[in-house]
Structures are given as C-alpha cells and as structure tokens.
Amino acid sequence: MCSVRDRWEDYVATGAEVVGISTNSVESHKSFAENHNLPLRLLADVDRKVADMYGAQSLIPGKVARSVLSSTATA
C-alpha cells in the first residue's frame, strides 16, 4: 500500500479509482490508513463477499489471498 501511496500521482493520472480491500475491520483500516498516510479508500470486507466475488481465496484455509484486480469503467 505504501508503494501505491508513493506513486499516487501516477494512478491519478490514469483516471483509475484505486480501492484497497481486506477482511480487516473499519477501525483497523482507519488506523492503518492514518499510520501510513494513505490517499486511497479502504474497504472493510469483513464478511468476505468481495473477496469471494473475485476469487481471492488463499491456499491457507480461512485467509484471503493478496490480489491485484483492474477494471475499466465504461460510460
């Protein structure tokens, strides 16, 4: 996430919307974002719905794999 923060202007220049997602709580995300000065939004996927939608299952039971997903918006 810090590398995303450090290259934030490059992401903004593409017009992409960048969102970090994990199964951690909202409170955990707030603390993490503040501690690392993150400019992006973080989604607390505590019920794993988003992770399941994108197939981000880890080989470790009960965990979510780190994944990078991209999509393009169409008008």
pTM over 0.75: no
Rounded CA-CA distance 20/32 in Å is 11
CA 68 to chain centre: 8
Residue-wise pLDDT tens digits, 44-65: 999 999 888 888 877 888 777 7
Total number of domains in the chain = 1
Q: What does the pLDDT look like over 27-46, one tens digit per residue? A: 998 999 999 999 998 889 99
Write out the residue range of the structural domain in which residue 32 sits: 2-53
Sign of CA dihedral 37, 20, 8, 16: negative
In a domain, 65, yes or no: no
At residue 38's C-alpha, the angle toward residues 36 and 40, to 5°, is 155
Whether residue 36 lies inside any domain: the answer is: yes
In a domain, 71, yes or no: no
Q: Is residue 66 part of a domain?
A: no
59 within a domain of the structure (yes/no)? no
